[in-house]
Protein backbone atom coordinates (compact mmCIF):
# COMPACT_ATOMS: atom_id res chain seq x y z
CA UNK A 1 0.00 0.00 0.00
CA UNK A 2 1.11 3.55 -0.80
CA UNK A 3 0.47 6.02 2.02
CA UNK A 4 1.00 9.79 1.80
CA UNK A 5 0.58 11.65 5.09
CA UNK A 6 0.58 15.43 5.65
CA UNK A 7 2.45 16.14 2.40
CA UNK A 8 3.45 19.80 2.05
CA UNK A 9 5.37 21.42 -0.81
CA UNK A 10 5.81 25.13 -1.48
CA UNK A 11 7.60 27.04 -4.22
CA UNK A 12 8.39 30.50 -2.79
CA UNK A 13 4.93 31.91 -1.95
CA UNK A 14 3.03 29.27 -3.95
CA UNK A 15 1.67 26.31 -1.96
CA UNK A 16 1.57 23.24 -4.23
CA UNK A 17 0.63 20.61 -1.63
CA UNK A 18 -1.07 21.57 1.62
CA UNK A 19 -1.11 18.80 4.21
CA UNK A 20 -2.32 16.19 1.71
CA UNK A 21 -3.23 12.67 2.86
CA UNK A 22 -3.73 9.76 0.44
CA UNK A 23 -3.82 5.96 0.49
CA UNK A 24 -3.65 3.66 -2.53
CA UNK A 25 -4.23 -0.07 -2.07
CA UNK A 26 -2.04 -2.68 -3.73
CA UNK A 27 -3.33 -3.37 -7.24
CA UNK A 28 -5.62 -0.31 -7.24
CA UNK A 29 -5.81 2.18 -10.11
CA UNK A 30 -6.30 5.65 -8.65
CA UNK A 31 -6.85 8.67 -10.91
CA UNK A 32 -5.65 12.01 -9.55
CA UNK A 33 -7.93 14.51 -11.25
CA UNK A 34 -7.91 18.28 -11.26
CA UNK A 35 -7.29 21.51 -13.21
CA UNK A 36 -3.86 22.89 -14.05
CA UNK A 37 -2.05 24.22 -11.00
CA UNK A 38 -3.95 22.16 -8.42
CA UNK A 39 -0.80 20.22 -7.39
CA UNK A 40 -1.42 16.84 -9.01
CA UNK A 41 1.91 16.65 -10.89
CA UNK A 42 3.76 17.88 -7.79
CA UNK A 43 2.15 15.01 -5.87
CA UNK A 44 3.52 12.49 -8.38
CA UNK A 45 6.98 14.04 -8.24
CA UNK A 46 6.92 13.92 -4.44
CA UNK A 47 5.91 10.25 -4.43
CA UNK A 48 8.60 9.36 -6.96
CA UNK A 49 11.28 11.22 -5.00
CA UNK A 50 11.88 13.85 -7.67
CA UNK A 51 10.42 16.58 -5.41
CA UNK A 52 11.45 16.74 -1.74
CA UNK A 53 8.65 17.28 0.77
CA UNK A 54 8.75 20.34 3.03
CA UNK A 55 6.79 18.28 5.55
CA UNK A 56 4.96 14.96 5.72
CA UNK A 57 6.01 11.54 4.48
CA UNK A 58 5.56 8.93 1.76
CA UNK A 59 5.47 5.26 2.76
CA UNK A 60 5.24 2.00 0.85
CA UNK A 61 3.96 -0.93 2.89
CA UNK A 62 4.91 1.00 6.01
CA UNK A 63 8.46 1.85 4.91
CA UNK A 64 9.32 5.54 4.98
CA UNK A 65 10.81 6.42 1.57
CA UNK A 66 12.29 9.78 2.58
CA UNK A 67 15.88 8.55 2.45
CA UNK A 68 15.41 6.28 -0.56
CA UNK A 69 16.61 7.76 -3.90
CA UNK A 70 14.43 7.76 -7.02
CA UNK A 71 16.15 4.83 -8.73
CA UNK A 72 15.72 2.58 -5.69
CA UNK A 73 12.01 3.14 -5.10
CA UNK A 74 11.05 0.66 -7.83
CA UNK A 75 8.43 3.04 -9.20
CA UNK A 76 7.71 3.53 -12.90
CA UNK A 77 6.98 6.88 -14.56
CA UNK A 78 5.24 7.68 -17.85
CA UNK A 79 4.82 11.26 -19.06
CA UNK A 80 2.71 13.00 -21.69
CA UNK A 81 5.78 13.75 -23.84
CA UNK A 82 6.77 10.02 -23.64
CA UNK A 83 10.48 11.05 -24.07
CA UNK A 84 11.49 8.13 -26.26
CA UNK A 85 15.06 7.86 -27.56
CA UNK A 86 14.72 8.72 -31.24
CA UNK A 87 18.12 7.22 -32.15
CA UNK A 88 17.14 3.80 -30.78
CA UNK A 89 14.61 1.34 -32.11
CA UNK A 90 11.48 0.26 -30.24
CA UNK A 91 13.13 -2.73 -28.56
CA UNK A 92 16.02 -0.64 -27.26
CA UNK A 93 13.62 1.92 -25.83
CA UNK A 94 11.53 -0.70 -24.06
CA UNK A 95 14.65 -2.46 -22.72
CA UNK A 96 16.11 0.70 -21.16
CA UNK A 97 14.92 -0.09 -17.61
CA UNK A 98 15.89 -3.73 -18.00
CA UNK A 99 19.49 -2.70 -18.62
CA UNK A 100 19.34 -0.70 -15.40
CA UNK A 101 18.23 -3.89 -13.61
CA UNK A 102 21.16 -5.73 -15.25
CA UNK A 103 19.06 -8.45 -16.90
CA UNK A 104 20.97 -10.61 -19.35
CA UNK A 105 20.20 -10.35 -23.09
CA UNK A 106 17.91 -13.40 -23.43
CA UNK A 107 15.75 -12.33 -20.47
CA UNK A 108 15.63 -8.76 -21.79
CA UNK A 109 14.51 -9.92 -25.20
CA UNK A 110 11.78 -12.13 -23.73
CA UNK A 111 10.50 -9.33 -21.51
CA UNK A 112 10.50 -6.82 -24.38
CA UNK A 113 8.50 -9.25 -26.49
CA UNK A 114 6.02 -9.82 -23.62
CA UNK A 115 5.27 -6.16 -22.94
CA UNK A 116 5.07 -5.18 -26.62
CA UNK A 117 2.51 -7.94 -27.11
CA UNK A 118 0.68 -6.69 -24.01
CA UNK A 119 0.30 -3.17 -25.44
CA UNK A 120 -0.67 -4.38 -28.92
CA UNK A 121 2.68 -3.84 -30.66
CA UNK A 122 3.84 -7.41 -31.23
CA UNK A 123 6.61 -7.52 -33.84
CA UNK A 124 7.54 -3.81 -33.48
CA UNK A 125 10.98 -4.47 -31.95
CA UNK A 126 13.01 -3.19 -34.91
CA UNK A 127 10.75 -0.29 -35.85
CA UNK A 128 12.26 3.19 -35.77
CA UNK A 129 10.70 5.63 -33.32
CA UNK A 130 10.37 8.17 -36.15
CA UNK A 131 7.98 5.87 -38.03
CA UNK A 132 5.48 5.55 -35.15
CA UNK A 133 2.16 7.36 -34.88
CA UNK A 134 1.36 9.29 -31.71
CA UNK A 135 -0.70 6.42 -30.34
CA UNK A 136 2.02 3.87 -31.11
CA UNK A 137 4.64 6.04 -29.42
CA UNK A 138 2.49 6.21 -26.29
CA UNK A 139 2.16 2.41 -26.32
CA UNK A 140 5.94 2.09 -26.52
CA UNK A 141 6.30 4.49 -23.60
CA UNK A 142 3.81 2.41 -21.61
CA UNK A 143 5.68 -0.80 -22.49
CA UNK A 144 8.95 0.78 -21.36
CA UNK A 145 7.36 1.79 -18.03
CA UNK A 146 5.93 -1.70 -17.46
CA UNK A 147 8.98 -3.71 -18.57
CA UNK A 148 10.92 -3.53 -15.25
CA UNK A 149 7.74 -4.65 -13.40
CA UNK A 150 7.48 -1.63 -11.08
CA UNK A 151 5.55 -1.99 -7.85
CA UNK A 152 3.91 1.39 -8.55
CA UNK A 153 3.28 2.91 -12.00
CA UNK A 154 2.73 6.67 -12.18
CA UNK A 155 1.26 8.19 -15.35
CA UNK A 156 1.34 11.99 -15.71
CA UNK A 157 -1.19 13.11 -18.37
CA UNK A 158 -0.10 10.14 -20.53
CA UNK A 159 -2.71 10.70 -23.25
CA UNK A 160 -2.85 14.49 -23.21
CA UNK A 161 -0.95 14.96 -26.49
CA UNK A 162 -3.33 12.74 -28.51
CA UNK A 163 -6.41 13.79 -30.44
CA UNK A 164 -9.81 12.83 -29.04
CA UNK A 165 -10.44 9.62 -31.06
CA UNK A 166 -6.98 8.20 -30.26
CA UNK A 167 -7.28 9.26 -26.62
CA UNK A 168 -10.61 7.49 -26.22
CA UNK A 169 -9.25 4.33 -27.83
CA UNK A 170 -6.10 4.27 -25.68
CA UNK A 171 -8.05 5.11 -22.52
CA UNK A 172 -9.98 1.86 -22.83
CA UNK A 173 -6.82 -0.07 -23.73
CA UNK A 174 -4.91 1.45 -20.81
CA UNK A 175 -7.32 0.14 -18.19
CA UNK A 176 -7.28 -3.31 -19.81
CA UNK A 177 -3.46 -3.42 -19.75
CA UNK A 178 -3.19 -2.18 -16.15
CA UNK A 179 -5.79 -4.72 -15.05
CA UNK A 180 -4.00 -7.58 -16.80
CA UNK A 181 -0.67 -6.66 -15.22
CA UNK A 182 -2.21 -6.02 -11.79
CA UNK A 183 0.15 -3.11 -11.08
CA UNK A 184 -0.74 -0.41 -8.56
CA UNK A 185 -1.17 2.79 -10.58
CA UNK A 186 -1.55 6.54 -10.11
CA UNK A 187 -3.00 8.16 -13.22
CA UNK A 188 -2.85 11.97 -13.30
CA UNK A 189 -5.20 13.77 -15.69
CA UNK A 190 -7.34 16.89 -16.08
CA UNK A 191 -9.94 14.97 -18.13
CA UNK A 192 -12.73 13.53 -15.95
CA UNK A 193 -13.98 11.24 -18.74
CA UNK A 194 -10.51 9.69 -18.95
CA UNK A 195 -10.27 9.38 -15.16
CA UNK A 196 -13.69 7.74 -14.87
CA UNK A 197 -12.89 5.24 -17.64
CA UNK A 198 -9.49 4.16 -16.27
CA UNK A 199 -9.70 4.30 -12.48
CA UNK A 200 -11.11 2.22 -9.64
CA UNK A 201 -11.21 5.40 -7.54
CA UNK A 202 -10.84 9.09 -8.33
CA UNK A 203 -9.14 11.69 -6.11
CA UNK A 204 -10.13 15.19 -7.21
CA UNK A 205 -7.55 17.80 -6.19
CA UNK A 206 -8.04 21.49 -5.57
CA UNK A 207 -5.52 23.97 -4.12
CA UNK A 208 -3.05 21.30 -3.05
CA UNK A 209 -5.54 19.11 -1.23
CA UNK A 210 -7.92 16.21 -1.98
CA UNK A 211 -11.36 17.82 -2.34
CA UNK A 212 -13.23 14.57 -3.05
CA UNK A 213 -12.30 10.91 -3.32
CA UNK A 214 -14.37 7.86 -4.18
CA UNK A 215 -15.36 5.58 -7.02
CA UNK A 216 -16.12 7.35 -10.32
CA UNK A 217 -19.86 6.82 -9.75
CA UNK A 218 -19.69 8.18 -6.19
CA UNK A 219 -17.74 11.29 -7.17
CA UNK A 220 -20.00 12.09 -10.12
CA UNK A 221 -23.26 11.49 -8.25
CA UNK A 222 -22.23 13.35 -5.10
CA UNK A 223 -19.42 15.85 -5.73
CA UNK A 224 -19.97 17.50 -2.30
CA UNK A 225 -18.81 20.99 -3.32
CA UNK A 226 -19.74 23.46 -6.06
CA UNK A 227 -16.20 23.76 -7.47
CA UNK A 228 -15.96 19.99 -7.75
CA UNK A 229 -19.40 19.77 -9.37
CA UNK A 230 -18.55 22.43 -11.96
CA UNK A 231 -15.20 20.79 -12.78
CA UNK A 232 -17.00 17.52 -13.45
CA UNK A 233 -19.33 19.27 -15.91
CA UNK A 234 -22.40 19.71 -13.70
CA UNK A 235 -24.21 23.00 -14.25
CA UNK A 236 -27.49 22.94 -12.30
CA UNK A 237 -26.45 24.41 -8.94
CA UNK A 238 -29.43 25.87 -7.10
CA UNK A 239 -30.01 27.51 -3.70
CA UNK A 240 -32.97 26.09 -1.77
CA UNK A 241 -34.82 28.24 0.75
CA UNK A 242 -35.84 27.26 4.29
CA UNK A 243 -39.22 25.92 3.09
CA UNK A 244 -37.75 24.14 0.07
CA UNK A 245 -38.45 27.04 -2.26
CA UNK A 246 -36.50 27.48 -5.50
CA UNK A 247 -37.02 30.11 -8.24
CA UNK A 248 -39.70 28.04 -10.02
CA UNK A 249 -41.42 26.32 -7.08
CA UNK A 250 -40.44 23.82 -4.41
CA UNK A 251 -38.13 20.85 -3.87
CA UNK A 252 -38.50 18.26 -1.12
CA UNK A 253 -34.89 18.65 0.04
CA UNK A 254 -33.20 20.44 2.93
CA UNK A 255 -32.37 24.14 2.69
CA UNK A 256 -28.97 25.05 1.26
CA UNK A 257 -27.19 24.57 -2.02
CA UNK A 258 -27.97 21.52 -4.14
CA UNK A 259 -26.95 20.00 -7.43
CA UNK A 260 -29.73 18.93 -9.78
CA UNK A 261 -27.99 16.24 -11.79
CA UNK A 262 -28.91 16.12 -15.46
CA UNK A 263 -30.36 12.64 -14.94
CA UNK A 264 -32.76 13.89 -12.24
CA UNK A 265 -35.26 15.16 -14.84
CA UNK A 266 -38.03 12.96 -16.29
CA UNK A 267 -40.23 14.56 -18.93
CA UNK A 268 -43.96 14.58 -18.26
CA UNK A 269 -46.49 14.07 -21.02
CA UNK A 270 -48.56 17.07 -20.05
CA UNK A 271 -47.52 20.45 -18.75
CA UNK A 272 -47.62 20.78 -14.98
CA UNK A 273 -49.59 23.68 -13.46
CA UNK A 274 -47.64 26.84 -12.77
CA UNK A 275 -46.21 27.26 -9.30
CA UNK A 276 -47.76 29.68 -6.85
CA UNK A 277 -45.84 30.08 -3.61
CA UNK A 278 -47.55 31.61 -0.59
CA UNK A 279 -45.54 33.59 1.95
CA UNK A 280 -47.76 32.14 4.69
CA UNK A 281 -47.68 28.50 3.67
CA UNK A 282 -45.17 25.81 2.74
CA UNK A 283 -47.55 24.41 0.11
CA UNK A 284 -46.67 24.57 -3.57
CA UNK A 285 -48.88 23.24 -6.30
CA UNK A 286 -46.24 20.95 -7.83
CA UNK A 287 -43.37 19.98 -5.53
CA UNK A 288 -40.39 18.44 -7.38
CA UNK A 289 -41.76 19.52 -10.75
CA UNK A 290 -40.62 22.05 -13.31
CA UNK A 291 -42.23 23.83 -16.23
CA UNK A 292 -39.72 25.44 -18.60
CA UNK A 293 -39.15 26.84 -22.08
CA UNK A 294 -36.45 25.35 -24.30
CA UNK A 295 -33.85 27.98 -25.24
CA UNK A 296 -31.16 25.72 -26.78
CA UNK A 297 -31.00 22.18 -28.20
CA UNK A 298 -27.73 20.28 -28.70
CA UNK A 299 -27.58 16.80 -30.21
CA UNK A 300 -25.41 14.39 -28.16
CA UNK A 301 -25.71 11.16 -30.11
CA UNK A 302 -28.08 9.06 -28.01
CA UNK A 303 -29.77 12.01 -26.30
CA UNK A 304 -30.40 15.74 -26.46
CA UNK A 305 -28.88 18.39 -24.23
CA UNK A 306 -31.57 20.97 -23.56
CA UNK A 307 -31.04 24.38 -22.00
CA UNK A 308 -34.24 25.35 -20.21
CA UNK A 309 -35.52 28.63 -18.84
CA UNK A 310 -37.84 27.94 -15.91
CA UNK A 311 -41.38 29.27 -15.73
CA UNK A 312 -41.58 31.18 -13.46
CA UNK A 313 -38.14 32.16 -12.20
CA UNK A 314 -36.14 32.47 -15.43
CA UNK A 315 -33.58 30.02 -14.03
CA UNK A 316 -31.29 28.38 -16.62
CA UNK A 317 -31.01 24.60 -16.29
CA UNK A 318 -29.38 21.91 -18.45
CA UNK A 319 -31.23 18.62 -18.97
CA UNK A 320 -30.23 15.44 -20.80
CA UNK A 321 -33.37 14.16 -22.51
CA UNK A 322 -33.73 11.12 -24.80
CA UNK A 323 -36.60 12.88 -26.58
CA UNK A 324 -36.11 15.71 -29.11
CA UNK A 325 -37.41 19.23 -28.52
CA UNK A 326 -37.72 22.53 -30.34
CA UNK A 327 -36.46 25.95 -29.25
CA UNK A 328 -39.39 27.82 -27.74
CA UNK A 329 -41.25 24.63 -26.78
CA UNK A 330 -42.66 24.50 -23.25
CA UNK A 331 -41.94 21.26 -21.38
CA UNK A 332 -42.64 19.87 -17.92
CA UNK A 333 -40.43 17.60 -15.88
CA UNK A 334 -40.59 15.63 -12.66
CA UNK A 335 -37.41 15.85 -10.53
CA UNK A 336 -36.20 12.78 -8.68
CA UNK A 337 -35.12 13.83 -5.14
CA UNK A 338 -32.76 10.84 -4.98
CA UNK A 339 -30.78 12.39 -7.83
CA UNK A 340 -30.39 15.76 -6.14
CA UNK A 341 -27.03 16.05 -4.36
CA UNK A 342 -26.58 18.21 -1.29
CA UNK A 343 -23.53 20.51 -1.49
CA UNK A 344 -21.50 21.85 1.44
CA UNK A 345 -20.97 25.37 0.09
CA UNK A 346 -22.42 28.61 1.32
CA UNK A 347 -24.45 30.89 -0.95
CA UNK A 348 -22.33 32.70 -3.55
CA UNK A 349 -25.10 34.01 -5.74
CA UNK A 350 -26.06 31.00 -7.83
CA UNK A 351 -29.72 30.68 -8.77
Do 332 and 273 share a domain, yes or no?
A: yes
Question: What mean pLDDT do residues 30-47 have?
Answer: 94
Please indicate, yes or no, if residue 351 is contained in any of the structural domains.
Answer: no
Residue 346 pLDDT grade (very low, low, confident, very high; cuts 50, 70, 90): low
Do 135 and 252 share a domain, yes or no?
A: no
| pLDDT the model gives residue 331 | 95
Please indicate, yes or no, if residue 165 is contained in any of the structural domains.
Answer: yes
pLDDT at position 283 over 70: no
Do 209 and 325 share a domain, yes or no?
A: no
Please indicate, yes or no, if residue 348 is contained in any of the structural domains.
Answer: no
Asked if residues 239 and 254 have their Cβ atoms less than 8 Å apart, the reply is: no
Do 30 and 95 share a domain, yes or no?
A: yes
Share the mean pLDDT of the chain.
Answer: 89
Do 254 and 182 share a domain, yes or no?
A: no
Do 162 and 185 share a domain, yes or no?
A: yes
Do 36 and 113 share a domain, yes or no?
A: yes
| pLDDT the model gives residue 159 | 78
Single residue among 198, 224, 250 that ends a domain in this structure: 224
Do 166 and 289 share a domain, yes or no?
A: no
Question: What mean pLDDT do residues 59-78 have?
Answer: 92
Question: What mean pLDDT do residues 311-327 have?
Answer: 91
Single residue among 186, 208, 224 that ends a domain in this structure: 224
Do 110 and 140 share a domain, yes or no?
A: yes
Q: Give pLDDT tens digits for 94-137.
A: 999 898 888 899 999 999 999 999 999 999 999 999 999 888 99
What's the CATH number where 67 sits?
A: 3.40.50.300
Report d(CA 184, CA 275) in Å as an integer: 53
Please indicate, yes or no, if residue 119 is contained in any of the structural domains.
Answer: yes
pLDDT at position 12 over 80: yes
Residue 349 pLDDT grade (very low, low, confident, very high; cuts 50, 70, 90): very low
pTM across the whole model: 0.86
Residue 18 pLDDT grade (very low, low, confident, very high; cuts 50, 70, 90): very high
Do 15 and 57 share a domain, yes or no?
A: yes
**Which is more confident, 270 or 327?**
327
**Which is more confident, 171 or 82?**
171
Please indicate, yes or no, if residue 350 is contained in any of the structural domains.
Answer: no
Report d(CA 324, CA 255) in Å as an integer: 33
**Which is more confident, 334 or 349?**
334
Please indicate, yes or no, if residue 214 is contained in any of the structural domains.
Answer: yes
pLDDT at position 75 over 90: yes
pLDDT at position 25 over 80: yes
Question: What mean pLDDT do residues 145-169 have?
Answer: 85
Question: What mean pLDDT do residues 256-272 have?
Answer: 83
Please indicate, yes or no, if residue 54 is contained in any of the structural domains.
Answer: yes
Domain coverage including residue 295: 231-342
Q: What's the total number of domains in the chain?
A: 2
| pLDDT the model gives residue 269 | 67
Residue 63 pLDDT grade (very low, low, confident, very high; cuts 50, 70, 90): very high
Do 6 and 125 share a domain, yes or no?
A: yes
| pLDDT the model gives residue 312 | 87
Single residue among 224, 244, 272 that ends a domain in this structure: 224
pLDDT at position 278 over 60: no
Do 47 and 167 share a domain, yes or no?
A: yes
Sheet containing 184-189: order of strands = 75-79, 152-156, 184-189, 29-33, 201-206, 209-214
What's the CATH number where 259 sits?
A: 2.40.50.140
pLDDT at position 216 over 90: yes
Please indicate, yes or no, if residue 73 is contained in any of the structural domains.
Answer: yes
Report d(CA 5, CA 238) in Å as an integer: 35
Question: What mean pLDDT do residues 158-181 have?
Answer: 83
pLDDT at position 285 over 90: no
pLDDT at position 275 over 90: no
Cα dihedral sign, 129-135-136-139: positive
Amino acid sequence: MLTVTGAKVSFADVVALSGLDLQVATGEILAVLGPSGCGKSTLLRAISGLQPLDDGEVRWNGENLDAKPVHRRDFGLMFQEHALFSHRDVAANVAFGLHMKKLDAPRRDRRVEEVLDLVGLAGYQRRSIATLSGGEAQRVALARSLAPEPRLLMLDEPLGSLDRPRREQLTAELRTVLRRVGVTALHVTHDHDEAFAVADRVALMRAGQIARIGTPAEVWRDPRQSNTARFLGHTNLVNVGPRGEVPWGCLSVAAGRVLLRSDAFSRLNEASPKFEASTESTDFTATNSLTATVSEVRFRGDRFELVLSSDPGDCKLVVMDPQPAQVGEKLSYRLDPDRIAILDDQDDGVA
